[in-house]
Structure 1
Amino acid sequence: MTDSHSRVLICGSRRWPWPDTITTLLDRAAGRHGNDLVVIEGAGTGAASAAHHWCTLHDLPAWRHRCHPLAPAPGRRTRTRCWSEAERNQRILHDEGPRLVIAFHENFHPAHPGSTNDMSRRALTLGVPVWLVPTADPDKGLWLHLSHYTCPPPPAPRPDQIEPTAVPPALPGANSARTHVQSCPAPTSS
């Protein structure tokens, strides 16, 4: 049985441009935990792909490389119900019990929708620490806290309220190279 403190979940941007950053951090974790390191990832693109590649390159057995693809693998019987990313995130956290989440995202903001944001918030709610790496430098990052998520997410529209031609508004700073993580501003008194 592995040490429960060596279970690390890797998540992040589908367009993460610095896979070497993930390699460096996983090499450090392997140096610290040795054969007790368990890597949990979602078998996606970007950050998850880099973690998956690292596990494959290091020939981790299935009990140490916990891979959770969103869709069934080719050749496998398809499920009658496909999981959403949010449902998958919850199942991974519940079933795998990570002791640390490392989120790799170059444009992370708690108010923006996305799987990395969802996973980070869910992990923090369960008391799992989340380290955010926003750049190519593996030594630059910050610990996320629930205080980063002080604004409630906007309510989801009911299906009868969605216009078929509606285009979601652009996210501010979506093309920005700098990452700022901050709590939502306090409401102003009128």
Structure 2
Amino acid sequence: MRLYPKVIPAIAREVIQTLTKEGDIEVETLRVADAEMDMAAIMREYLAAEERVNQATKEALERRGYDHSRFNAVKREMADVRGFKMGDEGIEYVIGQMIEFLLISRNVEEVYSDDPGLRRKIVNIFRKHLDVDAELDREARARMKNLQEGTAEWDVEYGRTLDQLRRARGLI
């Protein structure tokens, strides 16, 4: 799962609404927007940290004289050095931060559910909003039936098609 900046407000809103509606947390009506902004801030901070890792990766590639094909391997290395969680581990980390913040936030009056219960509900919300990558992959591959997978031309066109699909869905 990948976190896209454009879905952050929807995820934050749904987390607070769902947990409030199902009686897991209590939020005063006047503080709902603030609680949503708190959840969004956690996700935005994660993306900012990811951008810092990406920048460090680019600098490391340049310093070492590597080409861009080694980006993912060097990014994993940079993430490990910085203690940054990526991919599904990153989403788990963000959800953990959200649960932790619910317990200390001045915008949340009371938390009634235990951590595993909150985690399960928040994970379902994230899946609903973030499981678009597999769907985008299937759609991109369906559009590229005329090219042979594994060729340079296919790689370029696949990246271009994915970008078009993401733009069309408002993800980037």
The TM-score bracket by the shorter chain reads: under 0.3
Which structure shows the higher strand fraction? 1
Higher relative contact order (CA 8 A, sep 6+): 2
TM-score (norm 1): 0.25
TM-score (norm 2): 0.27
